[in-house]
Amino acid sequence: MFVKRLAVAAIFALSSLGCSTLNSSRPSVQDRLRPNIAQRDKTPAEIYAEADYLAYIELDIEVTDTEGNVEERKGWLSGALIYRASEYYILTAGHITQTGGKIIKISAYLKNGVGPEEVEILGVDKDLDAAILKFKNPYFTFSGRVARLGNSSKLNVGDQVVALGTPLGIRDALSVGWVMSLLSDDPRFTQSSLIIHQAPINRGNSGGPLLNMRGEVVGINVMFLYDNRVWVSYPMSIAVPIDDIKRILPELISGNKRVNN
């Protein structure tokens, strides 16, 4: 059995995609953060329609070969826009730092049409595989829906979940599956707990949100399990539980970078 981390997907060229205009009649930040009183389950289509917060993250990377030649590449991964302490941030995977080169620029595009907005790595925890990105524009504001962080401790095996992200460069993609296992203290991983699920993910899904059927983020996708020695119909997707991320979120926002080599 092998572990495949969803390394930052790299490409040599990326076509430009147009952005839609914003709807000026969005609710306030307070309204967008207020829990849904009914707490009813939503359809995947409803969850997708409300996912203004879904972020496509594009990296400009310089890679130097053994002969000293410098090559410019593009990379991408996914994230979710959150609102904390009167500021907007993007939550993503910690292995955004593992590009195989030097990051020159990071740009974020939100699903509702905002972007590109230049961002930078503010805090990262390599062991947990989580990172926070900060907007370089100090006046950045957002009129769409921000991500709501749920409680991964309430997940059960068999619960339906939705994964959002940018698999293989396909922006704003959705997949659906079920929780297969709630893993604890597995020596193959640096995390103390993980969510194993069936929603298909691929390179580029790194940092993308895993949601319950109320549209709350219960994890971020970071890797998948596979075995190339035997026939398997699909790899098993892995997400870091949001409860573990919430515990270190203040540290990440304060700029803590726990990147151990």
pLDDT for 189: 84
Question: Residues 218-243: pLDDT tens digits?
Answer: 999 998 877 666 555 567 899 999 99
pLDDT for 252: 95
Rounded CA-CA distance 74/77 in Å is: 11
- How many C-beta neighbours within 10 Å does residue 211 have? 29
Strand intervals (E) in the chain: 2-5, 9-11, 54-64, 70-84, 87-92, 102-110, 117-125, 130-135, 160-165, 173-184, 193-197, 209-211, 217-226, 236-241, 257-258
The single-letter code of the amino acid at 227 is D
Question: Residues 27-69: pLDDT tens digits?
Answer: 445 545 554 445 789 999 999 999 999 999 999 998 888 888 8
pLDDT for 257: 78
Residue 10 has pLDDT above 70, yes or no: no
Question: Residues 72-123: pLDDT tens digits?
Answer: 889 999 999 999 989 999 999 999 988 888 999 999 999 988 989 999 999 9
Q: Are 222 and 193 in contact (CB under 8 A)?
A: no
Of the candidates 252, 224, 253, the residue with the CA atom closest to the CA atom of residue 236:
224
pLDDT for 68: 81
Domains of the chain by range and CATH? 49-146 (2.40.10.10), 159-242 (2.40.10.10)
pLDDT for 22: 30
CA 61 to chain CA centroid, nearest Å: 19
Question: Residues 134-146: pLDDT tens digits?
Answer: 999 999 999 999 9
Residues in the chain: 261
Q: Are 258 and 126 in contact (CB under 8 A)?
A: yes
Q: Would the CA dihedral through 203, 130, 181, 150 be positive or negative?
A: negative
Question: Residues 150-173: pLDDT tens digits?
Answer: 999 999 999 999 999 999 999 999
Name the pTM for this structure: 0.82
Residue 11 has pLDDT above 50, yes or no: no
pLDDT for 245: 97
Question: Residues 178-232: pLDDT tens digits?
Answer: 999 998 887 888 888 999 999 999 999 999 999 999 999 999 999 887 766 655 5
